[in-house]
Amino acid sequence: GQQLNQSPQSMFIQEGEDVSMNCTSSSIFNTWLWYKQDPGEGPVLLIALYKAGELTSNGRLTAQFGITRKDSFLNISASIPSDVGIYFCAGLQGNAGGTSYGKLTFGQGTILTVHP
Amino acid sequence: DTGVSQDPRHKITKRGQNVTFRCDPISEHNRLYWYRQTLGQGPEFLTYFQNEAQLEKSRLLSDRFSAERPKGSFSTLEIQRTEQGDSAMYLCASDPRGLFFGEGSRLTVL
């Protein structure tokens, strides 16, 4: 099925460093979501973006909805060991509240490792 | 705690057996989704309910799969005659304004 291109596939960083990851698509998405998943658990919603150009923060996390609607990025500042996990971007082609709202397309994930 | 609960968390079964998973969404959410996630991949959409109505099914949902939400509250996902390729994490989610996932039910078919 359709996939989002998420990069990098993995990152190994030192505690305290900033992290940046992004997601691109050949198709337009009207909503972008970023999730974090720990092993054996379900994805946890970090940030949701609903408008092109929107920049949203959640603590040390900042995400942006690209102007072209074909990309999004996530930044994590001052990483800490508990940031370890897999980060997924997800896009929705429909509109929030529409009938297919939850039919998300996910990227393949970025595996983040933080060394103390 | 997202409020979406799934049961069982883990299921090991032999090929050919039937399995059933249950999902209890966040109580005020009328939309419920099932996704499947295989190792190293992002979740993939399977099916979607609005209240008790199943409004969309993915091509991934073969005839051996059936999902129900009889009273518009909890949902079940049944897989009949399981195959090794069915081994995956089955995730349930509810919305609005961003999907909130449960902890998943991991299926291993031997």
> How do residues B55-71 score in pLDDT, each as one tens digit?
889 988 899 999 999 98
Within 10 angstroms of residue B64's Cβ, the number of other Cβ atoms is 13
Q: Is the pLDDT of residue A7 over 90?
A: yes
In the stretch 38-57 of chain A, residues with CB closer than 8 A to chain B read 40-45, 48
Q: A108 and B100: CB-CB below 8 Å?
A: no
Q: Hey, is B67 helix, strand or coil?
A: strand
Give B28-55 pLDDT, tens digit per residue.
Answer: 788 899 999 999 899 999 999 989 999 8
User: What single-letter amino acid sits at B74?
Assistant: F
Distance CA B73, CA B29 (A): 9
| CA–CA min distance B2, chain A (Å) | 8
Q: Which residue of A has its CA nearest to B51?
A: A99
Whether A101 has a pLDDT exceeding 70, the answer reads no
Q: How far is CA A19 from the centre of its chain?
A: 12
